[in-house]
Chains A and B, each alone.
Chain A
Amino acid sequence: NAGVTQTPKFQVLKTGQSMTLQCAQDMNHNSMYWYRQDPGMGLRLIYYSASEGTTDKGEVPNGYNVSRLNKREFSLRLESAAPSQTSVYFCASSERGIAADTQYFGPGTRLTVL
């Protein structure tokens, strides 16, 4: 099993450009998450999907949109990138989407917005 995979691994954008970060899991998990990681702030939840067909905002959703394409895939879109969105983005999945569930993380996407 590959676990949680993310593409691309690195990306450089100019301010105002758009892009979609892709995430897929092969563990048949119901819930998926997007986090951003910034120095001194740990990981902060952007959006999550408790189950196929549902999405909810996390702590820092502004400037992002998400799509739960199917049970395996959860994408994060930046419509108009800003320098403040320079960060490392992590996708995660868990079996049931409750607070007591272990989350499994992908390797991350390092995004730089110039």
Chain B
Amino acid sequence: SNSVKQTGQITVSEGASVTMNCTYTSTGYPTLFWYVEYPSKPLQLLQRETMENSKNFGGGNIKDKNSPIVKYSVQVSDSAVYYCLLGESCRMGNNNDMRFGAGTRLTVKP
């Protein structure tokens, strides 16, 4: 089984840097996705992190059960809901589990 937790809301001023955390438990082989939902738009993929390429992304190590996303110098247009999605392949068999976090609502003030 797995669970995925995210911070509910973050409010920052334009130009700030912001870190949005995604903490999870995993007993299999995890892949961590970040999606962004802008108003009236479909979810868009921001990044995908597997155990093999975790070193390519700053701010987190998928092996440590936390995989944050960092946005630098945010703009008002970055205001959106950011979701992480944990995809987990089990060690044995072909079972796959996909589970979203509840999302972080980022509000950027001018």
The reply to whether chain A is a binding partner of chain B is yes
Binding site for B on A (CB under 8 A): 3-4, 33, 35, 40-45, 59, 90, 97-108
Q: How far is the CB of B16 from chain A (nearest CB, A)?
A: 25
Which B residues lie within 8 Å of A44 (CB)? 100
Which A residues lie within 8 Å of B100 (CB)? 35, 42-44
Query: Are B97 and A99 neighbours in the complex by a CB distance under 8 Å?
Result: yes
Q: A42-B4, A99-B88, A107-B40 are in contact. List 6 more A-B contacts (CB 8 A).
A: A33-B98, A43-B83, A45-B99, A90-B43, A100-B87, A108-B42
24 A-B pairs whose Cβ atoms sit less than 8 Å apart in the complex:
A41-B102, A42-B4, A42-B6, A42-B100, A43-B85, A44-B100, A45-B99, A59-B99, A97-B96, A98-B87, A98-B96, A99-B87, A99-B88, A99-B96, A100-B31, A100-B89, A101-B87, A102-B45, A104-B45, A105-B35, A105-B43, A107-B40, A107-B42, A108-B42
Which B residues lie within 8 Å of A104 (CB)? 45
| Chain B contact patch, size range | 20 to 34
**Would you call the interface of chain B mostly helix, strand, loop, or mixed?**
strand
Query: Are B42 and A99 neighbours in the complex by a CB distance under 8 Å?
Result: no
Closest to B50 in A: A100
Which B residues lie within 8 Å of A107 (CB)? 40-42
Which A residues lie within 8 Å of B35 (CB)? 105
A29-B78 Cα distance, complex, nearest whole Å: 30
Could you say which of A42, A100, A105 contacts B42, with CB atoms under 8 Å apart? A105
Q: How far is the CB of B88 from chain A (nearest CB, A)?
A: 5
Q: How far is the CB of A34 from chain B (nearest CB, A)?
A: 12
A4-B85 Cα distance, complex, nearest whole Å: 19
Query: Are A4 and B42 neighbours in the complex by a CB distance under 8 Å?
Result: yes
Q: How far is the CB of B74 from chain A (nearest CB, A)?
A: 22
Query: Are B83 and A42 neighbours in the complex by a CB distance under 8 Å?
Result: yes
Minimum-distance CB pairs A-B, first 10:
A99-B87, A42-B100, A99-B96, A105-B43, A100-B31, A42-B102, A43-B100, A105-B42, A99-B89, A107-B42
Q: Does B68 have its Cβ within 8 Å of any Cβ on chain A?
A: no
Query: Are B98 and A45 neighbours in the complex by a CB distance under 8 Å?
Result: yes
